[in-house]
Amino acid sequence: MKPIYAFGELLIDFLNISSATEDGLPIPQWKQYPGGAPANAAVAAAKLGRKVYFVGQVGNDSFGSYLIRAVKHYGINTDYLRTTDSATTPLAFVSLDSQGERSFTFRRTATADLMIQTADLPVPADLETGIWHLCSNTLTEPNIRNTHIALAQAIKSAGHLLSFDINLRKNLWPVGADFKTPIREALKYADIVKVSREELVELFPESPEKALAKHCFNGATQAIFVTDGGQPVVILTPGERQELAAPPVKVVDTTAGGDGFSGGLISYLAANSAETVDWLAACQFALKCGAIAVSRPGAFPSLPTAAEIDDII
């Protein structure tokens, strides 16, 4: 079994679960969950029994301490998870509509995850060869963007697989910033790409699937997964396009749906020893993981175990 290394933001998700009334004034009630896209995928893989390392940085504050405890609780190795006194842990506030769809407000200015340097990271060539998982939120500002790209180059040079979930959060980028160019640059290093239909149209508005395939398959990419809520997932490989329907599920909270999918996907690859990957089977496994995640609230707690995957209808 190959090890998995997840790099990026580890943060607190404050989920708006209800509203009380005091003196006639509605008072929103927020529940604290551990989260962050790469961290969610890492926990998904760990809960499925994989060997997982988290690579990143949190503040030396109560939120950071809680997050370290949380990932350890799920069996993630924290040897490469740093703390710093120079920056705070990032926060996200998540509101849900009646269909469980999310809207985000972030507190992520000069936070610990953005301050990490290439020199702070483990050297991929010194590690057991495995699968790395990265997302685009480590491209939003110059320092973390440089760290991300340098790490991606080192991952590829060392012979690891690189999974990249675009996971675009436009409100994390500076106003007016060009997010397309950095994301397109990062895509060149990815062996596996996960992108939502909405993100795909943002990045490649003209003939989206064809444009993305041309861009990625000229680089390292082996497979692309285009998700679209409860609609079928499109699987693109060089010369082939397939679709796979998502399992029916009652949606409660979509917070970890995409990350559950990504975690399931890299888990399948980590456990797969065959020279040729069955991408349809990999997608089927990932879809089950994502379906269970959206049927429950929160991020880490919503992600399924291997036993739950076997039981899904």
Say how far apart CA 184 and CA 283 lie, in whole Å: 23
Spatial separation of the C-alpha atoms in residues 102 and 15, rounded to whole Å: 10
Alpha helix positions (H), the chain: 37-47, 62-73, 112-115, 142-157, 180-187, 197-203, 208-217, 257-271, 279-294, 306-311
User: Measured on CA atoms in the order 221, 164, 306, 129, is the torsion positive or negative?
Assistant: positive
State yes or no: pLDDT of 96 exceeds 80.
Answer: no
pLDDT digits (tens, 9 = 90+) for 233-259: 999 999 899 999 988 888 888 878 899
pLDDT at residue 40, rounded to an integer = 95
The pLDDT value recorded for residue 54 is: 98
- Provide, rounded to the nearest whole percent, the portion of the chain with pLDDT above 70: 97
Range in 95-109, 121-135, 161-175 with the lowest mean pLDDT:
95-109
Locate the domains of the chain by residue range. Answer: 4-311
User: What digits encode the pLDDT tens for the residues 3-39?
Assistant: 999 999 999 988 887 778 899 998 988 889 899 999 9
- What are the phi and psi torsion angles at 294 (to 5°)? -80, -10
Query: Is the pLDDT confidence value at 2 over 50?
Result: yes
Report the Cα–Cα distance between both ends of the chain, in Å, rounded.
27
Mean pLDDT of the chain: 93
Cα(135)–Cα(73) distance, integer angstroms? 23
* 189-205 confidence digits (pLDDT tens): 999 999 999 999 999 99
**What's the confidence (pLDDT) of residue 33?**
87
Tell me how crowded residue 118 is: count the other CB atoms within 10 A of its CB.
14
Tens digit of each residue's pLDDT (9 = 90 or more) over 133-142: 999 999 999 9
Q: Which residue has the higher pLDDT, 280 or 28?
A: 280
The pLDDT assigned to 123 comes to 98
Q: Compute the distance between CA of residue 288 and CA of residue 220 in angstroms, rounded to an integer.
A: 27
Residue type, 302: S
Asked if 233 contacts 244 with a C-beta cutoff of 8 angstroms, the reply is: yes
Average of pLDDT values for 87-102?
79
Task: Give residue-wise pLDDT tens across range 218-237.
Answer: 988 999 999 998 899 999 99
Sorted by sequence, the CB contacts under 8 Å of residue 55 that are 6+ apart come out as 5, 6, 7, 80, 81, 121, 122
CATH superfamily of this structure's domain 4-311: Ribokinase (3.40.1190.20)
